[in-house]
Amino acid sequence: MRKLFPLFLCIFLLTGCQPQAYSSQTFAMDTLMQFTIYGRNGQEALAHASARIQALEQLFSVTRTQSETYAVNHARGEWTAVSAELYELAARTLDLCRETGGALDLTAYPAVRAWGFTTGEYQVPDGETLKELAACIDYSRVELEENRIRLPDGMELDFGATAKGYAGEVLARELREMGVECAILSLGGNVQTIGSRPTGDPWRVGVQDPEGEDYLLVLSVVDQAVVTSGGYQRFFEENGLRYWHIMDPDTAAPARSGLSSVTIVGDSGTLCDGLSTALFVMGREEAAAYWRAHPEFEAVLVSEDGSIAVTEGLEDRFVLNTGYEDRDVEVIRR
Ligand code: AMP
Ligand code: MG
């Protein structure tokens, strides 16, 4: 069974605001995206956003045989020249792999595929296969140099953990350059905001209850990205066990860290996306320690037992949703 909740972050758009709103939906990067842009050149900006997202997918897709990523993955140990954009995404993802001590690993693709997450042919690989797959996951063997990428034969890159956040960041930059001052872009589990709502109030972005259809809490956000990773977003079940798409690079199996979702809030969509995946792999304590050592983001950690923790920068920026007011929320402090 494959389950996809493309719009699992509920977005509350203000109605009746002054500038005109332009909205469109597009399917890209394996998810439904929704863009809402306010203001005079909204129509033009929407067209730009849709075209750009398709162009970026053409670079980053791991399954499209015409993509640059596919070319890198099938170069059999040789160098592949890539566009400046793929190079930038690879370099920034690799930095995050190093910074997170390999909780994020852009070479996880053979494991992701073996479990069936790109093919839809879901299966639980046997122990021997998992050992072999884990031995092939190693970001330190990826070489980047002058817009070229090289990796050992048998290893394959996957930008699934950072591409949507990067795309949101690129779109936000380009839309701002076009004069857009007010927009909200939902790219599956990634929300990128530009400015604030037309009224001047912050955007309100809901964080999904990993155990249900509703949202747990609502975050106030201005000009930032909000990215969630969770085991509930994409999974299959076999013999009563659930297996999801976020891999522990050490075992090549779904990461079971005790967390059921991680939401990251920050200025950089790429960073937020990479860290949502990495902190999910790390688990509650390691994630809190990582946050203490890195000032550039805030986080909401939801554990499998339903408990919620938020980092202190979010303390005054969230409200629990109706029906969840009784939940304890621990504030993680520096
Ligand atoms: P996200 O939804 O941002 O958490 O990213 C999950 C996607 O990134 C998966 O669908 C895989 O394509 C890929 N992936 C899974 N586990 C990892 C990992 N530990 N490091 C990097 N990429 C991963
Ligand atoms: Mg991610």
Q: pLDDT tens-digit profile of 102-141? A: 999 999 999 999 999 988 999 999 999 999 999 999 999 9
Q: What is the pTM of this model?
A: 0.94
SS3 assignment, position 120: coil
Distance CA 127, CA 113 (A): 16
Ligand 1 nearest-atom number relative to CA 277: 4
SS3 assignment, position 7: coil
Element (H, E) at 228: strand 225-230
Residue in 95, 112, 229, 272 to alter for ligand 1 test, most ligand atoms within 8 A of Cβ: 112
pLDDT at 230 over 60: yes
pLDDT at 8 over 80: no
Residues with CB in 5 Å of ion ligand 2: 161, 273, 276-277
Ligand 1 nearest-atom number relative to CA 190: 3
Distance CA 163, CA 297 (A): 18
Ligand 1 in reach of 106 Cβ (< 6 A): yes
Distance CA 261, CA 283 (A): 10
The answer to whether 122 and 2 are in contact (CB under 8 A) is yes
Which residues are bridge partners to 244 per DSSP? 235
Distance CA 274, CA 97 (A): 8
Ligand 1 in reach of 228 Cβ (< 6 A): no
Ligand 1 nearest-atom number relative to CA 117: 10
Nearest to 94 by CA among 77, 78, 75, 107: 107
- Residue 295 CA, ligand 1 centroid: distance in Å: 23
Q: What is the pLDDT of residues 163-201, one digit of tens each?
A: 999 999 999 999 999 999 999 999 988 999 999 999 999
Ligand 1 in reach of 112 Cβ (< 6 A): yes
The answer to whether 36 and 22 are in contact (CB under 8 A) is yes
Instruction: Pick left, alpha or beta for residue 203 (phi over 0 → left; psi -120 to 50 → alpha; otherwise beta).
Output: beta
